[in-house]
Structure 1
Amino acid sequence: MLIQRASLLDGMSADIRFGAMIEEVGDTLAAEPGESVLDAGGGTVLPGLHDHHVHVRSAASALDSVMVGPPAVRTKDQLAQRLSDAAPGPDGWIRAVGYHESVAGELDRNALDQVVPGVPVRVQHRSGALWILNSAALNRVGMAEHADGRLRSADGGWSERLQPRPTDLVELSRRLTAVGVTGVTDATPDLDAEDMVSLLVAHRRGEFRPRLGFLSPGKKILRDDHLDLDSLIAWITDQHADGRRVAVHCVTAAQLVVTIAALRAAGSHPGDRIEHAAVADDGSLAELADLGVTVVTQPNFVAERGDQYLADIPAAEHGQLWRLASLLKANVRVALSTDMPFGRGDPWAAMRAAVRRTTPTGAVLGAHECVSARTALAMFLGHPDQPSRPRTVEPGQPADLCVLTVPPADALAELDAAMVAATIIGGDVAYSAT
């Protein structure tokens, strides 16, 4: 294929010839016999976006789940109406996601029984760490005597008793490629070999078009009520001894402090990652830089949940939330992701959040952490195994490309998914707006 009249991010005009790999980038390349031609019309062509932290199966399941949290649902009455109106899925369950205590307090089995008594219901907290099941659901998983129906996601025994729920990877793939995503890193903890193989097979069959990377088995989720420094040091040491990088989930200040201490003791690996770093004080920044780890963070949560942060978190701590500019200034390696489905899965919205840091009501949270549009975009262009090193459009690189309808200056001003005209993966057109 040949793309003609493209504009690269540096403003250079170029034609781009490629098969599975980019073969030639030049000023005026003539089409060869039988070669398909795409006229970019001066629009930007850039490496395809890579979302560095997603949960693929959960995101596919969320497509037919009921949203029961802000902004769609804000009150107890709205929650009751949404669940009452919901139809069970193919597995006979109502699956709801996105719940937050601001809607109706701490849900339990009794509260759900009052709304939907006869159909199995499971409601996921928006953090992803907790599920709440009604009595019918608890019966299904052999936990009829459970006190409150509040079950941790990490406690896999109950979830293993669920009937497998069909997931629409084709539709998820369509949505991702429509916003210019050519690759994702699945951050789901404890994915086993069978899980990973099934996703890779779906990719080879074309059911899921974006390229796939995985954090498992080197992914660790920490909980504040079970922070064991010695066991974390031992786990990191074992992972490194097996030649694996580690990726540690840190959403609280305590989790980050313990992880930094563990990496200090065990020694860091060039590929080690901190996932989220949702709360980071000034002292942690230099430590992260010195360790050489990469922070994969999600400023989109400022745009999605910022008003809740302003209401629930002391003002003195607002400056420590979802930091970005300070991390870069401290020479920490940083990449961005959406954390789909816990975040909304639109990298362009995440970029806008990194640039503007506005909450849903328009307040600005952490203005000193804003970055430029070019910087935000670059943090979605990283290599899968080196997230902070942006890819380029040049010969020898994989032909994973995002074609936009507008030139670079407009693209950086808008940062909008509606600009995506085509997405190309391995030389094949995975999405076309026309």
Structure 2
Amino acid sequence: MSPAPALLIRDAELQSGARVDVRLAAGRIEHIAPGLQPRDGEAVIEARGRALSVGLHDHHLHLMAHAAALESLPCGNPVIGCVTGFAELLLMRARMEDPTAPGWIRGVGYHEGVAGPIDRRWLDAVAPRVPVRIQHRSGRLWILNTCALRRLGVDENDTESNRETPLERIDGRLTGRLFDGDDWLRARLAGTYPSLARTSETLARLGVTGVTDAGARNGRSEFAHFVAERRDGRLKQDVLVMGSAELDRLADAPGIRVGPTKLYLRDAELPPFEDFCHAIARSHAARRPVAIHCVTRGELIFATAALRQCGPMRGDRIEHASVAPPEALELLRDLNLTVVTQPHFVLERGDSYLDEVAPEDLPWLYRGRGFVQAGIPLAAGTDAPCGDLNPWTTMAAAVSRRTRKGSLIGPDEALSPAEALALFTGDANDPGGPARGIESGAPADLCLLDRSWEAALGDLAAVGVDATIKDGRAIWRRG
């Protein structure tokens, strides 16, 4: 790519309150001062006193899953709302498909609050002639109808071969429920990776110039896909790629870098402790920190015990830390671990949490203030498509701590608006560290908001972005 042409942003407000002009050249911030005059041929953006921020970095999302979700049917509350609405939506979509040469109906974000614990028979009653697969909100469960099972080559009567699959059987009959079977499903679908263009454009509209892809299964082929999408211009953001040991010996590419090893824990199926310690030690030996998925008390205690046994490495981090009671904070602090959390789940899922989460755990859900006061580096990611891709919504949720119905969860965990913004302005390799600044010589990754800093920090959820600049180029401008 040719060097970015010079660009002048005039009369922008910095977070300090200063009103300045900012000149960008060769992908960097060249000069910051009031009263700069345009050079011949230099593009100009008139900020007119609007707030200028560093470009946001989403520290935990799933790019390809989000791209696939854009082509999928949303199946969760509050989109559907009730069992009748869900059935009608599926039926309408099924009628749109040609049963002589059908594609898939792919649903995402399902939760039992919509229509209960649905299974193959339920889907068959609604859409018997089109292959349907519905992903649960947790990401760990797919529900498939009979047509889908046949499309995947599953023989109902071949109990011997089916014994090796993660498909659930009750009384010898397939229920259509597939637990933790993404690898099995991916191998049978044998599909190509999705274009990231729509997801990248949405991120650019939100002021995001970089992301961390948190896929535990990311390997050579996924990394190559990110590189190709970035090279060909469909992916505008930089990507730090978490993933498996396959990434250990890969070289960074322009805009695409190898990140931590992602390790996944589940309370119901914890690995042998020594095996987990070995996985951490192997990653550290490869000079890669680890990022450990922890959503329960038990998983967090298990993870910190293993890191204490192995010895932590700079950059080790805990993903989600969904339940972090006071005794866990001391462990996290002593090990110098970073937490990357999702406070918007209090907004998006909080009303369900009030019914489903043990009362003693509710105060410690997706904490904010507690981590900050304990001196634990804290950053955030949207976990899209499991959560809303909009980081401004996440920031607002970190401040309000309210559910969609207005209930408060952990009000003492609320952050200030400036602290909430900082969740998305740290460096990709140092989430929770010092926020990146707008200063001479820094990368020209910026976003121009549609309002002043006072107005933006007063209502983060309402913030819009007028321009997003990556490497000195405008990758999105309003209008």
Q: Same fold (TM over 0.5)?
A: yes
The answer on 1:160 being equivalent to 2:166 is no
The answer on 1:220 being equivalent to 2:227 is no
Per the alignment, residue 66 of structure 1 pairs with: 73
Per the alignment, residue 159 of structure 2 pairs with: none
Per the alignment, residue 374 of structure 2 pairs with: 330
Aligned to 1:50, what secondary structure does the other structure show? strand
- Alignment partners' CA distance in 2, 1:174 and 1:417: 19
Show CA shifts across 1:286-325 (max 9, x none). Answer: 1101111111000010110100001112322210111111
- Alignment partners' CA distance in 1, 2:293 and 2:448: 33
Say which of 361, 376, 396 aligns to 1:352.
396
Per the alignment, residue 380 of structure 1 pairs with: 424
The answer on 1:18 being equivalent to 2:18 is no
Say which of 17, 36, 42 aligns to 1:35.
42
Aligned to 2:360, what secondary structure does the other structure show? helix
- Change in 2 beyond 3 A, CA 1:418/1:144: farther
- Change in 2 beyond 3 A, CA 1:201/1:319: same
- Alignment partners' CA distance in 1, 2:102 and 2:471: 36
Per the alignment, residue 94 of structure 1 pairs with: 105
The answer on 1:182 being equivalent to 2:209 is yes
Per the alignment, residue 253 of structure 2 pairs with: none
- Change in 2 beyond 3 A, CA 1:321/1:109: same
Q: CA deviation at 1:402?
A: 0.4
Say which of 107, 126, 129 aligns to 1:115.
126
Q: CA deviation at 1:34?
A: 1.2
Show CA shifts across 1:263-300 (max 9, x none). Answer: 00011111111110111111001110111111100001
Code of the residue aligned with 2:308 in structure 1: it is R
CA contact (8 A) 1:91 1:163 kept: no
- Alignment partners' CA distance in 1, 2:443 and 2:202: 21
Code of the residue aligned with 1:314 in structure 2: it is A
- Alignment partners' CA distance in 2, 1:272 and 1:281: 20
CA contact (8 A) 2:193 2:225 kept: no
Per the alignment, residue 10 of structure 2 pairs with: 4
Per the alignment, residue 310 of structure 2 pairs with: 266
Deviates more, 1:237-246 or 1:75-84: 75-84
User: How high is the TM-score relative to the length of structure 1?
Assistant: 0.97
- Alignment partners' CA distance in 1, 2:155 and 2:106: 19
Deviates more, 1:387-396 or 1:375-384: 387-396
- Alignment partners' CA distance in 2, 1:366 and 1:95: 35
Say which of 437, 445, 462 aligns to 1:400.
445
Q: How many residues align?
A: 434
- Alignment partners' CA distance in 2, 1:272 and 1:209: 27
- Alignment partners' CA distance in 1, 2:59 and 2:285: 24
Q: CA deviation at 1:17?
A: 0.8
Q: List structure 1 runs of 4+ shifted beyond 6 angstroms.
A: none
Code of the residue aligned with 1:397 in structure 2: it is A
Aligned to 1:315, what secondary structure does the other structure show? coil
Say which of 216, 225, 244 aligns to 1:198.
225
Deviates more, 1:247-256 or 1:407-416: 407-416
Aligned to 2:108, what secondary structure does the other structure show? strand
Aligned to 1:161, what secondary structure does the other structure show? helix
CA contact (8 A) 2:195 2:229 kept: no
1:170-319 matches, within 5 Å, as 170-217=197-244, 218-228=261-271, 229-319=273-363
Structure whose alpha-carbon radius of gyration is higher: 2
- Change in 2 beyond 3 A, CA 1:177/1:333: same
Code of the residue aligned with 2:31 in structure 1: it is E
Code of the residue aligned with 2:111 in structure 1: it is H
CA contact (8 A) 1:91 1:165 kept: no
Q: CA deviation at 1:143?
A: 2.5
Per the alignment, residue 147 of structure 2 pairs with: 136
Aligned to 1:132, what secondary structure does the other structure show? strand
Code of the residue aligned with 1:162 in structure 2: it is L
- Alignment partners' CA distance in 2, 1:28 and 1:320: 49
Code of the residue aligned with 1:94 in structure 2: it is I
Taking only the aligned residue pairs, the percentage that are identical comes to: 41
Aligned to 1:148, what secondary structure does the other structure show? strand
Q: CA deviation at 1:168?
A: 4.2
Deviates more, 1:291-300 or 1:24-33: 24-33
- Alignment partners' CA distance in 2, 1:245 and 1:414: 36
Q: Which runs of 5+ in 1 are unaligned?
A: none
